[in-house]
Every structure is written in C-alpha cells, then in structure tokens.
C-alpha cells in the first residue's frame, strides 16, 4: 500500500507563484549550460531575471536535493522500478516549477536526458530515453516543448528559434506512447473560457483555430485541439 508524504515547504510554497506569461522580459535565451554553471551565471546576474521568492530560491540553491526529496519522501514504495519511475516524475515536477519561475535552462537540463537519446554537455545525468517509463517520457517531452515555447524568438539549438524548435517537440509529444496522459483537454477548455471573456481578437482566433478547424476535420466530440496552434497564438501576442 502506498503512503503519500507531504510536499516540502519550498515546493509547496513555489507552486502558487508559477507564471506562464509570454512577453519579452519573460522569454530569455537559453545558455545550454549544466546546473553548476547556471548557478554561477545566476549569481553574476543575467539580463533576464527569473521570478524568485524564498521558496523558489531554496529549490534553485540545490536542485538535485529537491528532486531527491520528492523521489524518496512522497511515496514509501521500495520497489526498484517504481522508485525509478518516481525519480523521473520528480525531475519533471521540479522542471515545471523552475520553468514557471523563468529558470528555463535549469528546467531544460532536467528534462533533456529524459526526452533526448543523445548525450549532452548540459543534461542532468545520462540519457534514459530508451528505458524511461512511457508516461514519464511523454511528460518530459511535453515540458521540453514548453521550454522552447518560452524561448520564443530567441535563436537556440540547431540554428532554430524557440518557436521553431517547439513545433518539433510538440510533434514528439503528441506522437509519444502516452499522449493521452497530457492535459490537452483542460488546456483547450481554459483557452476557450478565457477567450469568451476576452477581446474580439482572442474570440476570433478560438473560433477559427479551434472550433471551425475542428469541424472541418470532422470533429464531432468537441475535443479537437492542435497544440501547435497555441504556439502560433503566443507568437502573435
């Protein structure tokens, strides 16, 4: 029987301050540096300052410790395969918290070994792409797409801008083995709800890119969602 622990105060305190804003000040270029080097870069100051608080700072000060705490304290199961799975999801959870506070490189370092098969100089640990639990692979790939969306128009890997690279990672996420576990339905509903209370441009975009496009493609359930269209919207605004 699983016994759930309590979230550490730093992680619990960081969740309410997550932000997903997309504006120039919140879309920094990636440095593609490992965690220890990023810690040094942050101490020296960067042009794009992440959102910080005492809770977030506690996590950033020792990211491996935050991951290890989630891995070992949230579930008391001693099964080796379950512990590995828990470790992968702990990496994803901490990456989301970091990303939601502007620590894009640190988040990128955590999810790259989970979602990319090749060794990198900045990834936190060796690649586990070929052996990772399918749902963890899908989640890490999805987070990887969010990282490059936040990279926005900045030039990054393989000579691509963030909005170009995000399309690669989104396709990888929606064709991954556990695509059905991703929160696309909730995202669709949230965007439609916000658009209904927003300006005419938002309503027009939702009508054309969600509702009308879905009908044209034969959607009869009202579930149609093309996640790459959201990147387009973020690029426009």
- Note the pLDDT tens digit of each residue in 73-112: 766 666 778 889 999 999 999 999 999 999 999 999 999 9
Q: Report whether 11 contacts 66 (CB < 8 A).
A: yes
HSE (CB half, 13 Å, CA atoms) of 139? 21
Q: Which of 65-70's residues contact partners 24+ apart within 8 Å by CB, and which partners? A: 66/8, 66/10, 66/11, 66/94, 67/91, 67/94, 67/110, 69/8, 69/11, 70/8, 70/11, 70/94
pLDDT of residue 10: 87
Q: Who contacts 79 (Cβ-Cβ below 8 Å, separation ≥6)?
A: none
Q: Who contacts 108 (Cβ-Cβ below 8 Å, separation ≥6)?
A: 30, 32, 122, 144, 147
Q: Report whether 70 contacts 97 (CB < 8 A).
A: no
Q: What value does the mean pLDDT take over residues 180-187? A: 91
Confidence of residue 53 (pLDDT cuts 50, 70, 90): confident
Residue 36 in this model has a pLDDT that exceeds 90: yes
pLDDT of residue 237: 64
Q: What is the pTM of this model?
A: 0.90
217 alpha-carbon distance from chain centroid: 28
Q: What value does the mean pLDDT take over residues 57-75? A: 89
DSSP 210: I
DSSP 105: H
CA torsion sign, 54 to 98 to 95 to 45? negative
pLDDT of residue 220: 86
Confidence of residue 3 (pLDDT cuts 50, 70, 90): very low
Structure tokens belonging to residue 130:
């070929």
Confidence of residue 1 (pLDDT cuts 50, 70, 90): very low
Q: What value does the mean pLDDT take over residues 52-77? A: 87
Q: What value does the mean pLDDT take over residues 113-122? A: 97
């Amino acid at each position: 029987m699983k016994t759930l622990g309590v979230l550490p105060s730093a992680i619990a305190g960081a969740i309410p301050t997550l932000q997903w804003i997309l504006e120039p000040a919140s879309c920094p270029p990636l440095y593609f540096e490992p965690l220890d080097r990023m810690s040094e870069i942050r101490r020296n100051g960067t042009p794009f300052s992440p959102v910080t608080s005492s809770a977030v700072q506690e996590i950033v000060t020792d990211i491996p410790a935050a991951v290890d705490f989630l891995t070992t304290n949230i579930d008391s199961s001693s099964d080796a395969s379950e512990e590995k799975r828990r470790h992968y999801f702990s990496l994803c959870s901490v990456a989301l918290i970091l990303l939601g506070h502007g620590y894009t490189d640190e988040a990128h370092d955590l999810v790259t070994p989970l979602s990319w098969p090749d060794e990198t100089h900045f990834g936190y640990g060796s690649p586990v792409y070929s052996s990772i639990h399918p749902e963890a692979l899908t989640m890490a790939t999805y987070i990887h797409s969010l990282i490059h969306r936040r990279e926005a128009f900045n030039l990054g890997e393989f000579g691509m801008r963030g909005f170009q690279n995000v399309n690669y990672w989104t396709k990888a996420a929606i064709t991954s083995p556990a695509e059905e576990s991703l929160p696309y339905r909730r995202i669709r509903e949230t965007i439609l709800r916000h658009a209904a209370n927003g300006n005419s441009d938002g309503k027009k975009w939702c009508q054309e890119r969600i509702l009308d496009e879905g009908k044209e493609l034969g959607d009869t359930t009202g579930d149609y969602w093309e996640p790459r269209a959201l990147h387009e919207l973020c690029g426009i605004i």
